[in-house]
Structure 1
Amino acid sequence: MSGPTQSFWQERFEKQETPWDRGGPNPQLLRWLENGELSPCRILVPGCGKGWEVLELAQRGFDVVGVDYTQAAVEHTRALLASQGAFAQVVEADVLSYHPNTKFDAIYEQTCLCAIHPDHWKDYAEQVWHWLVPGGSLWVMFMQSVRPAATEEGRIEGPPYHCDINAMRAMFPLSRWQWPTPPYTRVPHTHLTYELALQLVKRG
């Protein structure tokens, strides 16, 4: 399998080498919640990491499922929820083979896609499609992480892998998804570059 292995991510968590982690929920998620765009529903957080967003959603009344295939991430998320007296289902599984019994009304995608090697993006996009109910929303943060070797030599570098918006439109096509009109909200990141935030709606 192309890209980082499960042991790679486990080591990163064990060594606390997680520069993508803000130490709290993404500010854009908080804006979506506070302005009422995203309201309580059944929601999936794939690649949930340390669980900040899982906790925030659970505390706001969402029926949350967090998924990560790194044991350290799952344990941290469960411990975080327990420390705050919050509840969410946290599943240790590979998102490329995860099959829930019930579909979701919404998905919050933050750092899962950019952590997956582009060779597997098409498979991941197919998973996302099947996870959602018709009319469900994908609340997504597309990581923008351009590197010189990628633009000058065509190399695939990451993680995080650069989620070029043209590639994203091809992977989440208009035949399946309603796209908002750009420009999209730019969300700065202290240790990485920035994310583009938008809501895609699954066509029925």
Structure 2
Amino acid sequence: MSALTPNFWQEHFDQGRTPWDRGAPSPQLLDWLNSKALTPCRIAVPGCGKGWEMVEFAKRGFDVVGIDYTAGAVKETKALLAQHALKAEVVKADVLVYAPEQSFDAVYEQTCLCALDPDNWIAYSEQLARWVRPSGRLYVLFMQVERPGAREGLKQGPPFHCDINAMHALFNSQHWQWPDALPTVVPHPSGWNELALCLQRK
């Protein structure tokens, strides 16, 4: 596993190697938006990448803030917003230290958690709990990447496998209310799946 620094991700952008990118908003995000399960509010997109979700939120009247510590991601997100004549806040910052000036009504977490070294997952989950106001929402897609080496105790990624039991431990009942229904299984172009669900901040 390479050191997951801004330079690591910048090399991917410089070389055009972004296999996680769909080239469009996640179909699950569109389902949440079209079904009105997610309506305009102040929302954060950590690890905003190339900005497809940022554009979709901005189009639909959200007060959206994208956070990414890779210069290439910030540049491409801003360019995509400009291409669509949309305005939104894009912050170049490390999600592990970023502190918003005011709380968010919601966070859309899709590709940030699975791109972080698991050593940082507790710190990141604590950040999300701080960012979201009481009764706010976390719209999350947990990446399912089961590799053979995991059975031997290897930590493999990115993307890292977001085991559902580990996710319950990270986003536990101290801060979050989980839904009764099972997560929605969302196929990913890579051949993997994501588990989509919405948690409510206590």
TM-score, normalized by length of structure 2? 0.98
1:184 & 1:91 partners in 2: Cα distance? Answer: 30
Q: Which residue of 1 aligns with 2:172?
A: 173
Q: Is this contact kept in 2: 1:55–1:80, CA < 8 A? A: yes
Q: Return the alpha-carbon distance in structure 2 between the equivalents of residues 171 and 87 of structure 1.
A: 33
> 1:161 — aligned with what?
160
Return the alpha-carbon distance in structure 2 between the equivalents of residues 81 and 107 of structure 1.
Answer: 19
1:12-59 CA distance string (max 9 Å, x none): 011111111000000000000000000000000000000000000000
Name the counterpart of 2:201.
Answer: 202
Alignment of 1:44-55 (within 5 A): 44-55=44-55
Alignment match, 2:83: 83
Q: Cα deviation per residue 1:114-137 (whole Å; 9 max; x = unaligned)? A: 000000000000000000100010
Question: What is the aligned partner in structure 1 of residue 186 from structure 2?
Answer: 187
Distance 1:122 1:184 in 2: 21
* One-letter identity of the residue aligned with 1:23: G
2:14 and 2:146 map into 1 onto residues whose CA distance is 27
Structure 1 position 190, deviation (Å): 1.2
Distance in 2 of aligned mates of 1:166 and 1:134: 24
Q: Report SS of the residue matched to 2:186.
A: strand
Q: Deviations over 1:99-146 (max 9, x none)?
A: 110110000000000000000000000000000100010000000001
Is 1:115 equivalent to 2:115 in the alignment? yes
Q: How large is the Cα RMSD of the aligned pairs?
A: 1.0
State the partner residue of 2:99. Answer: 99
- Kept in 2: contact 1:3–1:116 (CA 8 A): no
The residue aligned with 1:126 is 126
Structure 2 distance, partners of 1:192, 1:96, is: 29
Structure 1 outlier segments of 4+, above 3 Å = none
TM-score normalised to structure 1 length: 0.97
SS in structure 2 of the partner of residue 128 of structure 1: helix
CA contact (8 A) 1:19 1:192 kept: no
